[in-house]
Amino acid sequence: MVVSQTIPQATDPSHLFDGRHALIVGASGGIGRAVARALAGAGARLTLHGRDPARLARALADDPERDLPDQSLRPESHTGSSVDPPAAQGVSQPVETVICDLPFDAVLDEGRGEAGDSAAPSDASQRLQNVVDVMLKGGVPDILVVGYGPFLERSLLDTTAAQWRALFEANVMLPVMLAQRCLPVMQQRGFGRVLVFGGTGTDRIAGFRTVAAYSAVKTALMSWVKSAAREVGSAGQHANLAVNAICPGYVATEYLSRETRERYARRIPGGRLATPQQVATAALALLDPGSTLMNGVILPLDGGTRS
């Protein structure tokens, strides 16, 4: 005889983030967009940052895999399985947007320019301050997710001083300064989540042949995560605060060229890149208001391939 049993749901996943305000920096594509969609599906009120208003406006509405350039390298679909975060369809909460074109691309592409060689330190600090002001113009969120984190694939000796500075400013200074403004307010409120992203394999100190500068700055960011977690953790468990990071393996975002995707796929057992949605599932677990002990976590999300 088959006895059907209803398993009680502790919390409805579509209301997990009700009443919480999340700011996602870099929400118009890739991992940031997947996290935004997941948070929206779980009830959060969103402020989404991007540089292109039209692209940002479509971030929650569109198929997250719409920009992947080719079908053959698409990761396996997990539609309907337990790994999918809640869908963002039918988002009823208001969505704010912040448009801000961050000034690091030209420097990273060309190896010289404003964010590096010619910018005086005081100019760079002021520029960063301005960016932080723009990002937080809607107020300090309860949840800060910094998805934006530009990549540079270049040998160590070919990496210019300007590129080092731009990588550091974009991948370390920007999230750190945003968090520095948010954490005191979160501490006063007794609730806050900060989530940043490391690079592939930067959950430990290691050497890298072609992504040395990018990996070095991401490793620095991971060290900051540990220190910030200690700082907010010192308030004890009654203050529900957490600073965490995810170090994804290779993820199939629209920012990787076909050639790069093929090259990375060859390095992975099974030959398939992760999906942004898989990363978003883990992100939601770290951001969950009920996850009161997950602070200072640096989560490698590579299917165990670098274990």
Ligand X SMILES: NC(=O)c1ccc[n+]([C@@H]2O[C@H](COP(=O)([O-])OP(=O)(O)OC[C@H]3O[C@@H](n4cnc5c(N)ncnc54)[C@H](OP(=O)(O)O)[C@@H]3O)[C@@H](O)[C@H]2O)c1
- Options 2-10, 69-77, 80-88, 243-251: segment touching ligand X (CB under 6 A): 243-251
Q: Residue 287 in contact with residue 143, Cβ under 8 Å?
A: yes
Q: At its nearest, how many Å lie between ligand X and the CB of residue 137?
A: 15
Q: Is 41 a binder of ligand X (CB under 6 A)?
A: no
Site for ligand X in 252-271 (CB under 6 A): 253, 255
Tell me the closest approach of the beta carbon of residue 55 to ligand X, in angstroms. Answer: 5
CA nearest to 150, candidates 214, 204, 225 = 214
Q: Are 30 and 276 in contact (CB under 8 A)?
A: yes
Contact 229, 252 (CB under 8 A): no
Site for ligand X in 140-199 (CB under 6 A): 147-151, 197, 199
Applying the rule CB under 6 A, the residues between 97 and 136 that interact with ligand X are 101-102, 105
Minimum Å gap between C-beta 91 and ligand X is 18
244, 286 contact by CB (below 8 A): yes
Inter-residue long-range contacts of 237-241, CB under 8 Å, 24+ positions, other chains counted: 237/292, 237/293, 238/190, 239/187, 239/190, 239/191, 240/190, 240/191, 240/192, 240/289, 240/292, 241/183, 241/186, 241/187, 241/190, 241/191, 241/192, 241/193, 241/295
- Gap between the Cα atoms of 205 and 193, Å rounded: 25
DSSP classification of residue 88: -
The nearest distance, CB 112 to ligand X, in angstroms, is 17
d(CA 215, CA 248): 12
Pick the stretch among 9-17, 44-52, 159-167, 225-233 that binds ligand X (CB under 6 A): 44-52
Residue 208 in the binding site for ligand X (CB under 6 A):
no
Q: What mask, x for binding ligand X by CB under 6 A, covers residues 60 to 89?
A: ------------------------------
Asked if 250 interacts with ligand X (CB under 6 A), we say yes
Q: Which is nearer to ligand X, 148 or 168 (CB)?
A: 148
Give the residues lining the site for ligand X (CB under 6 A). 26-32, 50-52, 55, 101-102, 105, 147-151, 197, 199-200, 248, 250-251, 253, 255
